[in-house]
Amino acid sequence: MKILLTGTTGYIGQSLLPALLKDGHEVVCCVRDKSRFDAAKYGTHNLQVIEVDFLDRASLRHIPQDIQAAYYLIHSMSAEKEDFEALEKTTAQNFRDRLAETQAQQVVYLGGITNDQNLSKHLQSRKVVEEILREGTFHLTTLRAGIILGSGSASFEIMRDLVEKLPVMIAPKWLNTRSQPIAIRNVIEYLKGVLLQEAFYDQSYDIGGPDVLTYKEMLQGFAKVRHLKRTILTVPVMTPKLSSYWLYFVTSISYTLASNLVQSMRVEVICRENNLREQLGIHLLPYDTAIKLAFDRIQNEGVIASWKDAQSSQVLHGGISRLLTVPTFGCFTDKRQAQVTQVDRAVQRIWAIGGETGWYYADWLWKLRGFLDKLVGGVGLRRGRKNSTRIHAGESLDFWRVLYANKEEKRLLLYAEMKLPGEAWLEFRLEGHTLYQTATFRPLGVWGRLYWYSVLPFHAFIFKNMLQRIAT
């Protein structure tokens, strides 16, 4: 069957795609920027990639007429713009209108559980999107989920940050709110199971795991799986804004996403009874099993998707390709080179940079820069990297975004997503036995120039020693 997949670069989309291909479907992936999607790693001719921006109606013409079904997995909650509700509404309307012109029989929509009268903006937006899609000419099947657990999911990574870093937590009272988390592999089973099955047309189902837990119990369960002793104290005086800052500074999420999550976490998300699990023959994984499986993937370098890959600055929304040519006019540069005795070893070190490996010299200064970035609303250094040895364009790498990564060409190009009065690039390139390292900064006004000169003394020894350690 020919299936349209939206939200391809998001966590759920990246998890669902290999499962659809394994089942023999022909999948058409919608992405805003082909440069950020590695189609070659799937090694199949059943994959077609098209560039579509669902806020741009003209680009929707790239969607083939002969698709039989579509997955709607678009989500704007982590968008920097506060009015993500308007973005989601426009996106859903454009999608609905375009699919009316195709042969699509069914749309499968993954939304959020909305069984509370006092919904957060996020959950209310999910409900509005469902209503818009229901007006389409196709049959709509809605699956509503709460917390999704899996290696690379936002929920899992947030809990991981909290549990791994804080022996004692002074937490907001919403940690006593109940939820019904579900393992990512169960979500994928549900998404595949309802595909083009008439029995599920024009139906809505809540999906969740077998355990109903408070967020506090989830954190304690997480700590138990990790064999860590953690003390969690809840206080009634922490406002939503303070709660958002608490999440923002301790974890790797943006403040916008933290704020939206806090609003949602104050609302109970418990599944309403249905028999979908029995109809599809799905065995639900308990909470602790889902956490163990997620860590198994991490330890075996098997993380295939990360929510962080979709979290980026607004600058990148115009596409990676326009940033690949590093500017020279009006820019400051720090150019260095070193001789390399073992070329392959140097390439390996470049490809392992950041994350747990660090930056080879003065890691404490890199961490300080990340902390300062957090103070002014930036992404900080906590995003890390998805894999310790592999890099692909579009992935996040600490407070950088990978623009270009070609091991055969021995070239890695990074673009800064930290808060800066300008734009910055960092490039590593090997030619023969010579390693070239270039930092480029395009300042924005007087503040940009003052920033460059203020950090210049640090560059002198940080970049010099980083280059030498990679080379030797």
Which has the closest alpha carbon to 97: 146, 60, 151? 60
402 and 446 housed in the same domain: yes
Domain enclosing residue 418, as ranges: 312-471
Alpha carbons 374 and 385: distance in angstroms, whole number: 18
Does 292 lie in the same domain as 318?
no
Q: Say yes or no to pLDDT of 314 above 60.
A: no
DSSP H helices in 154-214 = 154-165, 184-193
Backbone φ and ψ for 13, nearest 5 degrees, come out as -60, -45
pLDDT tops 60 at residue 391: yes
Residues 278 and 353 in one domain: no
CB 441 within 8 A of CB 415: no
Q: Residue 340 maps to which CATH number?
A: 3.30.530
Same-domain check for residues 278 and 381? no
| CATH label of the domain that carries residue 142 | 3.40.50.720
Q: What is the dihedral of CA 459, 463, 465, 466, to 10 degrees?
A: 140
Is residue 301 very low, low, confident or very high in pLDDT (cuts 50, 70, 90)? very low
Looking at residue 302, its pLDDT comes to 47
What is the pTM for the complete model shown? 0.76
Question: Domain check: are 317 and 395 in the same one?
Answer: yes
The last residue of a domain, from among 292, 308, 324: 308
Instruction: Tell me the DSSP string of 69-123.
Output: EEEE----TT-SSS-HHHHHHHHHHHHHHHHTTS---EEEEEEE----SS--HHH
Tokens of 18: 């290999």
Question: Domain end: 259, 290, 308, which one?
Answer: 308
Residues 302 and 318 in one domain: no
End-to-end CA distance of the chain: 52
Using DSSP, how many helices (H) and how many strands (E) does the chain show? 13, 19
pLDDT in tens, 113-158: 876 666 666 677 778 899 999 999 999 999 999 889 887 777 788 8
Its sign, for the CA torsion 251, 255, 259, 260, is negative
| Structure confidence by residue, pLDDT tens digits, 328-350 | 888 999 999 999 989 999 999 99
pLDDT tens digits for 183-199? 999 999 999 999 999 99
